[in-house]
């Protein structure tokens, strides 16, 4: 067996310790003679798995008691619809568009009400974060929406917008559990787990109690109503049991690592290795404004498409996988999520340096 360094943006690398535990427990989970995959979601064993996962998640992120944690399905794209269906009482919402995912969310919300794009960085192909300190927030807005880490472009909103009293909804998919967050600043924060937390198939929604409403838009399906899942502890219907179990193992791993402050420190260290290299390289360059750089997703280019292709092929052959940039932007992208070891980033930079010398 040989494992590669997987720089995929998602589904992405998982901690090796977690995969080993899952393998060891595959046939017989804790002496019950069956795999978690084969278990009833109404069993005591599974109830323990989801309860422990939720408790560990709450502890890691510091989720206050007046917020619910929901384990849902449908991926990030389903949240693009659920948010407006559940929150658009006045049928008005303000969106900050800093990349493709926020743009898609805004477009979906337009189906249900009036969407105001109150800030955007589309003018410079999303290479920066606009000033969000004094936006024309609508007095009727039901919420203000952001995508906090832009997976495709590699920018992060580091100072949250001044929402002028409106509830903030944040897509944190590609930075989930990569650093501490102050949950009280959000009405809802949510993320698809396949970027930084677990296997594809679970979306974790953290939602303040008063936003779990009965008066959702009238056509909202039962399954797309937050209240349905909040009332039943995410067990209204069969949840993605095995994936929730793996998320739970990742939470345990994060606690053993020292929690989110420690992860932030490690993630800063890892990102610095790559950004420092990019800043002095004569061949490779980062594509975004330095102050807005993401710790998680690092896009870079050579400025020559043929060389980019050559780099992607040669790095892949050397066991540095999935460095190809998003299909809409080209170039390269290295995702440095929690499970990417420092050694992986060091190996990447050594490889880039060698490639630079060979192709000077």
Ligand X SMILES: *Cc1c(COP(=O)(O)O)cnc(C)c1O
Contact 130, 106 (CB under 8 A): no
Residues 173-212 that bind ligand X (CB under 6 A): 173-174, 192, 195
Using the rule CB under 6 A, is 73 a contact of ligand X? Answer: no
Please identify, using beta-carbon distances, which residue of 161 and 352 lies nearer to ligand X: 161
Using CB under 6 A, which of 43, 52, 77, 316 touches ligand X? 77
Tokens representing 292 are: 């807005």
Tokens representing 9 are: 């943006």
Using the rule CB under 6 A, is 147 a contact of ligand X? Answer: yes
Q: How far is it, in rounded angstroms, from Cα 99 to Cα 268?
A: 22
Using CB under 6 A, which of 50, 56, 68, 76 touches ligand X? 76
- Containing H/E element for 149? strand 149-150
Which region among 71-79, 243-251, 257-265, 342-350 touches ligand X (by CB under 6 A)? 71-79
Q: How far is it, in rounded angstroms, from Cα 30 to Cα 206?
A: 29
Residues 9-68 that bind ligand X (CB under 6 A): 10
Contact 321, 6 (CB under 8 A): yes
Using the rule CB under 6 A, is 72 a contact of ligand X? Answer: no
Shortest distance (Å) from residue 280 CB to ligand X:
29
Task: Output the CA angle 146-158-210, nearest 5 degrees.
Answer: 45
* β-pairing verdict for 149-150 and 155-156: antiparallel
| Residues classed as catalytic | 101, 171, 195
Using the rule CB under 6 A, is 108 a contact of ligand X? Answer: no
Tokens representing 225 are: 């109503």
Please identify, using beta-carbon distances, which residue of 310 and 326 lies nearer to ligand X: 326
Place of tokens 């992607």: 312
Using CB under 6 A, which of 52, 58, 75, 138 touches ligand X? 75
Using the rule CB under 6 A, is 151 a contact of ligand X? Answer: yes
Binding stretches for ligand X (CB under 6 A): 10, 75-77, 101, 147, 151, 171, 173-174, 192, 195
């Amino acid at each position: 067996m040989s494992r590669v360094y997987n720089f995929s943006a998602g589904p992405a690398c998982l901690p090796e310790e977690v995969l080993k535990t899952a393998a060891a427990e595959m046939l017989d989970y804790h002496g019950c003679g069956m795999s978690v995959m084969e278990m009833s979601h109404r069993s005591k064993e599974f109830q323990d798995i989801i309860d422990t996962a939720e408790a560990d998640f709450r502890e890691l992120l510091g989720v206050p008691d007046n917020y619910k944690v929901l384990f849902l399905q449908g991926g990030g794209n389903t949240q693009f619809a659920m948010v407006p269906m559940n929150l658009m009482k006045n049928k008005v919402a303000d969106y900050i568009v800093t990349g493709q995912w926020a743009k898609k969310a805004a477009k979906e919300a337009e189906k249900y009400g009036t969407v105001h794009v109150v800030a955007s960085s589309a003018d410079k192909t999303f290479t920066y974060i606009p000033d969000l300190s004094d936006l024309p927030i609508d007095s009727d807005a039901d919420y203000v929406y952001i995508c906090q880490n832009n997976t495709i472009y590699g920018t992060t909103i580091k100072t949250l917008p001044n929402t002028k009293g409106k509830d903030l909804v944040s897509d944190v998919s590609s930075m989930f559990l990569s650093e501490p967050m102050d949950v009280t600043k959000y009405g809802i924060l949510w993320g698809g787990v396949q970027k930084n937390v677990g296997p594809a198939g679970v979306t974790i929604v953290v939602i303040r109690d008063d936003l779990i409403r009965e008066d959702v838009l009238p056509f909202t399906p039962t399954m797309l109503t937050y209240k349905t899942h909040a009332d039943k502890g995410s067990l209204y219907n069969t949840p993605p049991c095995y994936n929730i179990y793996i998320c739970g193992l990742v939470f345990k791993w994060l606690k053993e690592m020292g929690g989110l402050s420690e992860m932030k420190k490690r993630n800063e260290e890892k990102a610095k290795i790559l950004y420092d290299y990019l800043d002095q390289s004569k061949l490779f360059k980062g594509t975004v404004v330095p102050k807005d750089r993401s710790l998680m997703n690092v896009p870079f280019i050579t400025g020559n498409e043929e060389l980019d292709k050559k780099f992607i092929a040669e790095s892949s052959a050397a066991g540095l996988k999935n460095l190809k940039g998003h299909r809409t932007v080209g170039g390269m992208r290295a995702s440095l999520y929690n499970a990417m070891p420092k050694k992986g980033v060091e190996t990447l930079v050594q490889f880039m340096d060698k490639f630079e010398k060979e192709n000077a």
